[in-house]
Amino acid sequence: MELSFLYHGFGIDRSYHYHATEYKDNSIILKLKSIPIKKVTCPHCGCTEVIRYGVIHRMIHNLPIGSKRTFLYLTVQRYQCKACGKVHQSDIPFTRGNVSYTYRFQRYVLDLLRLGGTITDVAKHLGVGWDMVKDIHKDYLKKKYSHPDISKVTKIGIDEFAVRKGHVYKTIVVDLDTGRIIHVGDGKGSDSLTAFWKKVKRNNIKIELVTSDMSAAYISSVAQNAPQAKHVYDKFHVVELVNDAVDKVRRSVWNQENDIEKRKLIKGTRWMLLSKSLDKFDEESRKRFDNILNTNKPLFEAYYLKEDLCQIWMQKSKAEGEEQLEYWCARARESKLTAMIKVANTLLAKRTGILAWYDCKMTNAVLEGTNNKVKVLKRKAFGYRDDEYFKLLLLGMKDETVKTE
């Protein structure tokens, strides 16, 4: 086989010569031998007096030819140093370390993933294991994303999510200007942010704005590590808190109702109670919903408290926003609904951070977009059992559109 074909086709340079070809099953095996070099330097001590010391063999994946898998069967020369006695082997310029594929093969795998193939698709297509494709992708992500550049970051969003049902949490930090995830931490306590704050210090950057939920751990962590930053408690999370309370009210009403038919009706209201808009429901269900609200005081009150919550962020000034917040909390207390009173107490205690929104009017679009993408990735990542890979996927999420099943 012509050397120039091997070079142009597969990137095999002239330090190897072609020896033979073998056809086996559905594979083509190209046998290559490293060409002994005259002037060899010991990589351990720099001595140039070395002697040949046998050969080793390696079999590595090469680019396929059509539907045929091809392998390189390499015979690699080894040398022993006369001065230090250590043994080393000839370089293999078209692969690295102990991996079992060439650079070209690696690039081809990444191209196929980029074109929209899932890991399973690509592994099947190339006749290799799922793990090999995943590892190639992981290596690539590691090089590109394991150390995100945070030198221009000034506004961050901190958020947590459960990795799976149960209690495994991750904390992510999002650059609110770019939408990139710049940190993934384990758990949802302040520990999850330690490495991030260290990096902030090392880079000597000043964080100006932080958005997060109202968790005590995040609040104290931000106060300690970015005392100059304005800390806004995310509207999205306040809404979530109230939605949870509405659902608690619904469940307690359901529990207290003895009439089976009425119970069924109450159960069916969940989506309407929590819906952002009733427009998507047909007229009949809306009528039924109105009827349930009008005959059920706790549900009526919970529902309208939820609907009016957004008023807190719709005022012309921060002072008016504060009035709305107080008004809302007073109504919640008057409702005598335990779940709503609890929310009111939280809102009053955290009012500074909630109303800080008026100083910057940060929208949640970036965080919500990120959250939706995280949800999708999480579902897919369920089977990985490779935490590092999952973190890298999160860090590269904004730029990579790889499907990862």
Token pair 């690039």: residue: 107
Nearer of residues 42 and 299 to Zn ion, judged by Cβ = 42
What's the rounded Cα separation, in Å, for the pair 323 and 126? Answer: 64
Closest CA to 313 of 349, 279, 351, 275: 351
Nearer of residues 88 and 378 to Zn ion, judged by Cβ = 88
Token pair 């086996």: residue: 24
Beta carbon of residue 77, minimum distance to Zn ion (angstroms, whole number) = 16
x/- letters, 215..254, toward Zn ion (CB under 5 A): ----------------------------------------
Nearer of residues 43 and 268 to Zn ion, judged by Cβ = 43
Single out the segment in contact with Zn ion by CB under 5 A; choices: 35-43, 160-168, 221-229, 233-241: 35-43
By the rule CB under 5 A, 51 interacts with Zn ion: no
By the rule CB under 5 A, 354 interacts with Zn ion: no
DSSP 101: B
Q: With CB under 5 A, what is the number of residues at the site for Zn ion? A: 7
Instruction: Give the distance from CA 355 to its chain's centroid.
Output: 30
Helix axes 318-334, 338-349, angle to 10 degrees: 150
Bridge partners for 183 per DSSP: 173
By the rule CB under 5 A, 42 interacts with Zn ion: yes
Single out the segment in contact with Zn ion by CB under 5 A; choices: 45-53, 183-191, 196-204, 390-398: 45-53
Beta carbon of residue 84, minimum distance to Zn ion (angstroms, whole number) = 3
- CB-based burial of residue 248 (10 Å sphere; 0-12 exposed, 13-18 middle, 19+ buried)? middle
Beta carbon of residue 81, minimum distance to Zn ion (angstroms, whole number) = 3
Q: Which amino acid is at 18?
A: Y
Nearer of residues 79 and 108 to Zn ion, judged by Cβ = 79
Nearer of residues 16 and 79 to Zn ion, judged by Cβ = 79
Nearer of residues 40 and 394 to Zn ion, judged by Cβ = 40
Beta carbon of residue 91, minimum distance to Zn ion (angstroms, whole number) = 16
Closest CA to 158 of 204, 225, 203, 205: 225
Structure tokens at 41: 């330097």
Q: Give the N- to C-terminal CA distance of the chain in Å, as an integer.
A: 39
Beta carbon of residue 80, minimum distance to Zn ion (angstroms, whole number) = 9
Nearer of residues 82 and 164 to Zn ion, judged by Cβ = 82
Question: Any idea what the Cα angle at residue 327 is, between residues 323 and 330, rounded to 5°?
Answer: 140
Closest CA to 138 of 357, 327, 389, 352: 389
Nearer of residues 41 and 243 to Zn ion, judged by Cβ = 41
Structure tokens at 100: 């079992």
Beta carbon of residue 399, minimum distance to Zn ion (angstroms, whole number) = 44
What's the rounded Cα separation, in Å, for the pair 246 and 242? Answer: 6
Beta carbon of residue 40, minimum distance to Zn ion (angstroms, whole number) = 10
Sequence-separated (6 or more) residues with CB below 8 Å from residue 217:
188, 189, 190
Beta carbon of residue 79, minimum distance to Zn ion (angstroms, whole number) = 10
Structure tokens at 377: 């990735």
Nearer of residues 86 and 403 to Zn ion, judged by Cβ = 86
CB 321 within 8 A of CB 313: yes
Beta carbon of residue 46, minimum distance to Zn ion (angstroms, whole number) = 7
Single out the segment in contact with Zn ion by CB under 5 A; choices: 41-49, 70-78, 258-266, 371-379: 41-49
By the rule CB under 5 A, 44 interacts with Zn ion: yes
Q: Which of residues 58-97 bind Zn ion (CB under 5 A)?
A: 81, 83-84
**Strand extents, DSSP E, 229-312:** 230-233
By the rule CB under 5 A, 37 interacts with Zn ion: no
- Report the residue from 45, 115, 168, 349 that binds Zn ion according to the rule CB under 5 A: 45
Token pair 């104290």: residue: 220
- The footprint of Zn ion (CB under 5 A) covers 42, 44-45, 47, 81, 83-84
